[in-house]
Chains A and B, each alone.
Chain A
């Protein structure tokens, strides 16, 4: 079975540009999470969805960040405008309700903002 699929794997952009990261969760999973990982701060939860509905977005750094999940098989994380401090690896993960704690992560999107 396919795991969590993220795109793009790598993105290099200039400050001020819009960045859109994409995620396809594992089919049948009802939770989807967006995490960001940096050396300084480790893995930080940005937002998570249950059955396509955002449940907790308290980790979203500021209004420049937005996330959507229009259907059970697709989610986006958008940064507009991007800043150098947004440079990080962004991970999407999905899980089953009954398997709390067992997150399946995608390979991540490595973002560099110049």
Chain B
């Protein structure tokens, strides 16, 4: 069982829609959480960190629920360029420098 679990999707949404992804993490000792974006056949890139109080970056909102051990990403006003795979990430059990990645949720935004 992976430490970070995500719904693989795909999520197919029209341009302008709001879409939300959730992921769960198994290690209650995890302290740091992130969302990465990976375009087809490219490397992953950091999208945003996830803070306990929740945080926004433009059209993107990330939230953390420690009690339920899940993380969410909300994308408002979806753009065609948002089409990608979104990877949920939590730090490892013994060190904040070893990150565990989920398998990713695929998003396709259509015209």
* A interface with B by C-beta (< 8 Å): 31, 33, 35, 41-43, 45, 48, 50, 55-56, 91, 95, 100-103, 105-108
Contacts and interface: CB of A to CB of B under 8 A. Distances in A.
Interface of B: 2, 32, 34, 42-46, 49, 87, 89, 91-92, 94-104
Nearest to B89: A101
A38 B59 CA distance: 30
Contact of B46 (A43, A101, A107): A101
Contacts of B97: 31, 48, 50, 55, 95, 100
B91 A102 contact: no
14 contacts: A31-B97, A42-B2, A42-B87, A42-B102, A42-B103, A45-B99, A48-B97, A55-B95, A56-B92, A95-B97, A100-B97, A101-B96, A105-B45, A107-B43
Contacts of B32: 100-101
Contacts of A35: 101
Contacts of A50: 97
Contacts of A41: 2, 103
Contacts of A100: 32, 91, 96-97
The 8 closest A-B pairs by CB, nearest first: A42-B103, A105-B43, A43-B101, A101-B34, A100-B96, A101-B32, A102-B46, A105-B44
Nearest to A59: B98
Contacts of B102: 42
Contact of A56 (B2, B89, B98): B98
Nearest to B104: A42
A43 B87 contact: yes
